[in-house]
């Protein structure tokens, strides 16, 4: 690869500046008052410039991710959505030892029957070059003695508007597991007093190997009453999760009409 001297020099200049400020931070308490005031004003100006850069870079990243999402959607896609806790920072960012039904942000709940509640659920920043979602969720499981563990995600009411049995609901996932793990995706659609359920197994996740996967729920195989749709949600079910850590780096939903013959 051809070397670009100008970019190399700029990068080295930034690296030297970073080392210089790191050294100043270590010796700040030994500096004289005048020198300290001068450097503090300089640091505030630098921080303001860095903050502006980060804000603009984040905006550009969001636009780029949205464009990439749109590139690979099937023709006829009439709805798309990513959970809010994967698109923006939430507060609080984590919960330790959650009760069954404990929530993280809006629309995400953890369900289990572990008496010790040996779990940690937290939002993390996605830093991978191929990550489309700005944020993800990390689930750490310790001495789990329960019989089930699932993460429930409520879909917005817009997912039900115009929904028919001719639709295919498309789920894109990006998941990384610390140890081998089986994960199942169960789509639930409430219509009147009834609930339609469709369960599909995702790929088996091997240690340290992130998996991007597309799962499609064909609603033709349901008996849902299109005139009485009330609620729709997804359960991610983790099989034998003891002593494992799972990162859900993306959850992206969309729907399109099935190609009729």
DSSP-derived secondary structure for 47-87:
HHHHHHHHHHHHHHHHHHHHHHHHHTSPTTEEEEE--HHHH
pLDDT for 255: 94
Is the whole-model pTM more than 0.85? no
What strands, in cross-sheet order, belong to the sheet with 194-201? Answer: 102-103, 108-112, 149-154, 229-239, 182-191, 194-201
CA distance linking residue 237 with residue 151, whole number of Å: 7
CB 89 within 8 A of CB 123: yes
What pLDDT does 229 receive? 95
> What is the predicted pLDDT for the residue at 37?
84
At residue 108, the pLDDT reads 87
**130 secondary structure, DSSP code:** T
Q: Coil, strand, or helix at residue 5?
A: helix
What was the pLDDT predicted at 57? Answer: 56
What φ, ψ does residue 40 adopt, rounded to 5°?
Answer: -65, -45
What integer pLDDT is reported at residue 54 of this predicted model? 62
CATH topology of domain 77-257: Jelly Rolls (2.60.120)
- pLDDT of 129 reads 62
Q: Is the dihedral of CA 161, 80, 167, 232 positive or negative?
A: negative
Q: Please enumerate in sequence order all residues whose Cβ is within 8 A of that of 85, keeping only pairs 6 or more positions apart, or say none.
A: 104, 105, 106, 107, 108, 123, 135, 137
Residue 11 three-state SS? helix
Average pLDDT per run of 10 along the chain, which is 261 residues long?
A: 65 82 83 83 80 61 51 81 86 87 85 90 80 85 88 94 95 90 94 94 77 92 94 94 90 88 50
Compute the distance between CA of residue 37 and CA of residue 156 in angstroms, rounded to an integer: 52
Asked if 250 contacts 172 with a C-beta cutoff of 8 angstroms, the reply is yes
Nearest CA to 107 out of 123, 128, 125 is that of: 123
Which of helix, strand or coil describes residue 131?
coil
């Amino acid at each position: 690869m051809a070397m670009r001297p100008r970019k190399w020099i700029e990068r080295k200049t930034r690296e030297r500046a970073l080392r210089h400020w790191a050294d100043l931070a270590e010796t700040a308490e030994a500096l004289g008052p005048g020198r300290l005031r001068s450097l503090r004003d300089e640091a505030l100006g630098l921080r303001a410039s860095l903050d502006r850069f980060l804000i603009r870079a984040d905006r550009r990243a969001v636009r780029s991710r949205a464009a990439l999402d749109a590139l690979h959607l099937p023709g006829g896609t009439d709805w798309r959505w990513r959970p809010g806790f994967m698109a923006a920072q939430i507060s609080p960012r984590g919960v330790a030892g959650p009760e069954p039904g404990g929530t993280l942000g809006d629309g995400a709940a953890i369900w289990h029957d572990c008496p010790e509640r040996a779990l940690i659920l937290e939002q993390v920043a996605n830093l991978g070059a191929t990550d489309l979602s700005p944020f993800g969720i990390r689930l750490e499981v310790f001495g789990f003695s329960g019989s089930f563990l699932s993460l429930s995600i409520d879909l917005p009411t817009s997912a039900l508007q115009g929904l028919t049995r001719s639709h295919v609901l498309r789920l894109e996932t990006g998941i990384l597991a610390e140890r081998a793990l089986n994960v199942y995706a169960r789509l639930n659609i409430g219509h009147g007093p009834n609930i339609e359920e469709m369960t599909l197994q995702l790929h088996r996740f091997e240690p340290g190997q992130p998996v991007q996967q597309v799962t499609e729920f064909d609603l033709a195989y349901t008996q849902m009453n299109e005139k009485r749709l009330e609620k729709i949600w997804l359960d991610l079910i983790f099989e034998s999760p003891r002593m494992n850590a799972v990162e859900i780096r993306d959850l992206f939903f969309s729907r399109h009409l099935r190609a009729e013959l």
